[in-house]
Structures are given as C-alpha cells and as structure tokens.
Amino acid sequence: MSGYFLYHSIGTFPGKNRAMSEALTRFSEVWSAEDDGQWPAALAARQTFIEHWERCIGAAPGTLTTAENVTAALFSLIGSLPPSYLKGRRILVAADCFPSLHFLLAKLAERFDFQLDTVPLRPGEAYVRDEDFMAHWDKSVGLALLTWVTSTTSHRCDVAALAQHGRQMGSLVGVDITQGVGIAPFQVSDDTSFVVSSSLKWLCGTSGAGIIHVNPRILQECEPEFRGWFSQTNPFSWGLDDFEYAPDARRFDHGTPAILASAASLPGLQFVESTGIDTLRSHNLKLVRRIIDHAQTSEWRIVSPLDDDRRGGSLMIRMGDHVDVQSIVSHLRDRKLFCDARGQIIRLSPGIVTTEADVDLLCQGIQELSA
Ligand SMILES: Cc1ncc(COP(=O)(O)O)c(C=O)c1O
C-alpha cells in the first residue's frame, strides 16, 4: 500500500506498468524485426499520439506536432515568428511561470530584440493575479505567455478572459497547459495563438513526449528556424535549394522524430480519454477538498486558490519557517506516502490511484511531523 500525491510530477493510473510494458514490447518487436516495417509502424504510432492530443484539446487536425519538451517547443515557436511580432515589443510573462521558460526567454530577448516583462507577485502572495497580469498588458505586448495552471500553487488562470484581452491588444497569446491538461477541461480557441505542453503529468505519459499546437490563423506565417528534412511535406525532398515548409504543423518538426516517448505515452492518453476528464476531476476534487478540510482544522496555510474553478489538480501548503519540510517529505516517504516540496511549500497532487484513506494518513503524518 502506498499513497501517491505526485501527479504534478509524474501521473499514473491503475495498470500503467502493464499497459506501458505492452506498448513498449510492441515497439521493440517492430523495431527489431529484420524487415522494412519499422518506420511505417513507428510513424503510425506517433501519428496516433498526435491525434489523441488533438482530440484532447480540441485542436484541428494538422495543427499539432511533437516536441521533446515544453522549453524546446517554445524555442521553436519563438524562432518561427515573423519579426513584426517581437522586434521592439514586450513578451509578457508572470513571475510564477515555469522557470525553464523564463530562462529561455531571458536569453532570447537580446537576439530577437524584445523586452521580457515579468509581472510580479504582490507582497505576501503566492500567485500572480489575473487582474495584475491584465494591468500590465497593453498594445506594446507582442506575445503573452500564460501558465494555465502553475506548478507552485496550482493557480488556474482564466485563459478565455486573458486571451480575449490579448486579441484586443493585438498580441499573440501562448498557453503552457502542462500542469492542467488531463485534470481540468481545456479546449483551444481562436484567441489562443499556440499551446505547449508535456504529457507526463495528469496525462500519465513519459518524459520526451511534449507537444506544440499552433492556431491555423498564424501557422502559415511561422517559419521555424529550427527546421530540417521532417519540416517538409516530403522529408525525402533533398534538393538543397528546394526546401519547402509543410503547410501544417509538420513545419515544426526538424530532424528524425523521437518515436519512443509517443509510443510509451499512448497508454496514459488512452486511459485519460476513456475515463473522461470529468470522472478524473471529480475524484481529484473530492480528495483535494478533504485535504483542505484537514488543512483548515490544522491551521496550515493553503497557498493555492480555494475556489475550485481557479485551481488545477494540486493543493499547496506553506509550512512555517521553523519546520524542516524536507525531513517531513522524507519521513512520509518512509511511510510510503509520496509528495514533494519547493522551499517551505508542500505540493500535494492526488489522482485516480490515490484514496481518501491515503489523504487521511498523509494529513495525520504532516500534522504529527510538523508539531
Ligand atoms: C507549468 C509547467 N510548464 C512546463 C514544465 C516542464 O517544462 P519542460 O518540459 O521544458 O521541462 C513543467 C514541469 O513541471 C511545468 O510545471
């Protein structure tokens, strides 16, 4: 018996080991067969992964492709934009965005001649409020990068309202959906210019299985500088002066695609699709509300939004400065209760394999160990 609260890191589902083993065995059989069937089968598996993702977020066929990770997807996108979107303009991002993306943008600012504008947290607050983000957003913003659900507090921003504002400001709007997809409903809209994500959290896939979706309205304008033979409709068009971008999201491909992560992630995507986000969400909500009840009776400081509609699937709790949080996490591990911490904040993400009894044991553990 163990209690799993790490869906913000790696998602899981009943039977994951077996389903993944079967998928990887199928892949190994095809890949090691001494015939010429490897690539057709491998590319078909990758295409199935892409189509699952398109259905998952309501993206039109041909608007989504794979990326190694979210950072790489954003890098590819930035390098694809016509200069008018970025040159001399601002990229707006919140202070609680995923740091990796901020690291990337801070480095790219000089070469692409944009100013990186980071909307700060209010003193004493743990997430950037939508209203503060909007207050910083005027017509000088060429691109705003929204973190749909944050990894530090599980704050869920109102993408529809922010993206509509973005349209009025003439800005591109990108959304990082990594922490929310698979546990809360998300559909692309005409106001979102692109979406980036990985598959390994609530979608229960593996690392290496990132994606990028680009709105068909801007897709044709995008000319990724990170390009290669697979960016073409026909990868075997090898005339050195005949390069032509594919008309769809394949233009964001470059070298030989990494297939293995797509194949290994398919069971997770299939599980989420067949179970349904509503079912997964209602189980998660029941458990998160139970943690909230424990936290409120224990007077722990919840730093996640209390409004269910403004929160992803996690609940974050800030422990007092005197508490040795790493030691709590480690003692909980000894009891086979798995969570993690960032600084003084404990991150708790219960999913479909987590039970109410696990929540009670975990909360009693935190109570006892922090006393
Ligand atoms: C909000 C968010 N974005 C992105 C990532 C991951 O980015 P990358 O795939 O580049 O490692 C994470 C990982 O925890 C995340 O929480």
Q: How far is the CA of 237 from the centre of ligand 1 (A)?
A: 35
In this structure, which amino acid lies at residue 38?
A: Q
Q: Which helix (H) or strand (E) is 370 found in, with range? A: helix 356-370
Separation of alpha carbons 267 and 17, rounded Å:
10
Q: Which residues on adjacent β-strands are paired with residue 91?
A: 116, 143
Q: How far is the CA of 240 from the centre of ligand 1 (A)?
A: 36
Counting from 1 in the atom list of ligand 1, the atom nearest the Cα of 69 is: 9
Instruction: Give the count of alpha carbons within 13 A of 183, CB side only.
Output: 36
Burial class (CB in 10 A: 0-12, 13-18, 19+), 104: middle
Which regions of the chain are under pLDDT 70? none
Contact 319, 328 (CB under 8 A): yes
At 143 the three-state DSSP class reads strand
Q: What percent of the chain has pLDDT over 70?
A: 100
Separation of alpha carbons 351 and 259, rounded Å:
27
Q: How far is the CA of 98 from the centre of ligand 1 (A)?
A: 6
Whether residue 202 has its Cβ less than 6 Å from ligand 1:
no
Indicate the pTM of the whole model: 0.97
Position 298 scores a pLDDT of 87
Whether residue 71 has its Cβ less than 6 Å from ligand 1:
yes
In this structure, which amino acid lies at residue 19?
A: A
Position 307 scores a pLDDT of 97
Position 90 scores a pLDDT of 98
Counting from 1 in the atom list of ligand 1, the atom nearest the Cα of 150 is: 1
